[in-house]
Amino acid sequence: MNSKFFRGVHPPDMKKSSNAAPIEAIEVQAGMNFFIPLTQHTGIPARPVVKKGQIVRTGELIAEAAGFISANIHSPVNGVINAADVFADYPMNTRAQAISLTASDNQNTDFVPLKEDLLVNTVKAAGIVGMGGAMFPSHIKLSPQKKPDILIVNGAECEPYLTCDHRLMLERTPELIRGALTIKESLKLKRVIMGTEANKADAVNALRTTGQNRIEVISLPVKYPQGGERQLIKSITGKEVPEGKLPVDVGVIVHNVSTVLAVHDAVYMHKPLTHRVVTVTGGVKKPKNILAPIGMPISCLIDACGGPDGDIEKVVLGGPMTGICAHSLNIPVYKGLNGIVVYLKDAVKRKTPSPRPCIRCARCVRACPAGLSPVTLENFAAKEMYKELAVWKLMDCIECGACNYVCPSFRHLKNIFRLSKKKIAVTAAEGKNGG
């Protein structure tokens, strides 16, 4: 099958150092401190339901969803609450409100089970959000306003370096298929399609062998951003999601591999979302895919890989195309964190050059999978011309970074778009609140 989505780029996939590393659970030691951010999802921060000094068990609810778009949060360990209103290092806002707790033992397997029975209620109670990075509460996607026909399980993992979904497709194949079929049955869908990329042939084989003819498995060409929701829908079904519409408007819902497994674990093991698999790679001594508790500082994961293999230049959370530079190694693992990529001073052959003037080459336009004109958008964004940005469809930007990747002048296009979108969202929220 040829990739049918528009434009895109071909960065080196850089997955070899971790794609054969089986998932390892990281050890928790008694006395370890955890910071659990209250904003690990799109929408309203969760509301703490614990107090200082309270003893909690793994899986116990510690913060509840505080609105329609919000998500529950559970303790990742047995421990004692230190504070329910601290501020912790967090990538999105530099600091975020969090619950602080200290582990009281190293047990990691027993947990307080969920008690719900219906799928949507279970997923909501479990605090499951989109684990591919979007962090949108999954129970909302699973109770769509319109009836979808197709579930696409997003196993493209097109970001360079990341291999956690690849390992999960290989190591938890039956559970992944069972989770996907459970969603199919619950929403009375016609089809379940697993979409992955050709550089994961072993996962494709495992899914086809285990899935038999209960699910369709499609291996797509390696092209970035194949795993973008709209790009994946286009590649697999040929359908375009119209501007301002959602995938469900064309009869499709998309869930990431890790999310579908979290749904499986919630439904069949009654397990809330307290852990996730994170790829830790780049300049570490032993790149790994680590099953880590939410709230554990990322420094512990880097240490679990033998530490950095030299002096750290920077650490990127997520992949190099869409990720965010970590400003601190105390940032905790959060529900949407799929990768930690360490860059060493020696290995960075040339430091990222400073941006140079645009030479109007239009490479960014030819690369943009959303059909935008990044060069034009950048011009309006720099001048804070928000009406023009709306006309040129800034909100359709999926922040994939393909424009940055091809720009010969090293302009920080994606970054300025991300900032402008945030400013527009804040202005809109202030307008709603009469601010």
Interface residues with ligand SF4 (CB under 6 A)? 358-364, 367-370, 372, 374-375, 397-403, 406-409, 411, 413-414, 417
214, amino acid identity: R
> Which DSSP string corresponds to 283-305?
SBSS-EEEEEETT-BHHHHHHHT
Compute the least distance from the CB of residue 418 to ligand SF4, in Å: 8
Compute the least distance from the CB of residue 394 to ligand SF4, in Å: 8
Peptide bond into 308 cis (omega under 30): no
Round to whole Å and give the CA distance between 147 and 239: 16
Compute the least distance from the CB of residue 374 to ligand SF4, in Å: 4
Closer of 361 and 428 to ligand SF4 (Cβ) = 361
Strand ranges of the sheet holding 150-155, from the earlier edge strand across to the other edge: 216-220, 191-197, 150-155, 252-256
Q: State the residue for tokens 């002048």.
A: 409
Closer of 120 and 365 to ligand SF4 (Cβ) = 365
Say which residues have a Cβ less than 8 Å from residue 109's Cβ, sequence separation at least 6. Answer: none
The answer to whether 133 and 338 have CB atoms below 8 angstroms apart is: yes
Closer of 89 and 378 to ligand SF4 (Cβ) = 378
Crossing angle between the packed helical segments 119-126 and 173-187, to the nearest 10 degrees: 130
79-90 and 94-103 beta bridge pairing: antiparallel
Compute the least distance from the CB of residue 270 to ligand SF4, in Å: 39
Compute the least distance from the CB of residue 240 to ligand SF4, in Å: 15
Closer of 96 and 372 to ligand SF4 (Cβ) = 372
Longest dimension (CA), the chain: 60
Strand ranges of the sheet holding 73-74, from the earlier edge strand across to the other edge: 47-48, 61-64, 73-74
Closer of 115 and 360 to ligand SF4 (Cβ) = 360
Compute the least distance from the CB of residue 352 to ligand SF4, in Å: 14
Compute the least distance from the CB of residue 425 to ligand SF4, in Å: 16
Evaluate the CA torsion angle 186, 187, 189, 191 in order and state its sign.
negative
Compute the least distance from the CB of residue 324 to ligand SF4, in Å: 14
Compute the least distance from the CB of residue 230 to ligand SF4, in Å: 10
Q: How many CB atoms lie within 10 A of CB 40?
A: 27
Say which residues have a Cβ less than 8 Å from residue 56's Cβ, sequence separation at least 6. Answer: 50, 62, 75, 78, 79, 80, 81, 101
Instruction: Tell me the residue length of the chain.
Output: 435
Q: What is the DSSP letter of 297?
A: B
Closer of 152 and 367 to ligand SF4 (Cβ) = 367
> Which DSSP string corresponds to 77-120?
SSEEEEEEEEEEEETTTEEEEEEEEEE-S---S--PPP---SHH
Compute the least distance from the CB of residue 319 to ligand SF4, in Å: 13
Closer of 108 and 322 to ligand SF4 (Cβ) = 322
The answer to whether 321 and 160 have CB atoms below 8 angstroms apart is: yes
Closer of 182 and 373 to ligand SF4 (Cβ) = 373
Closer of 357 and 431 to ligand SF4 (Cβ) = 357
Q: In this structure, what token pair is assigned to residue 23?
A: 């998932």
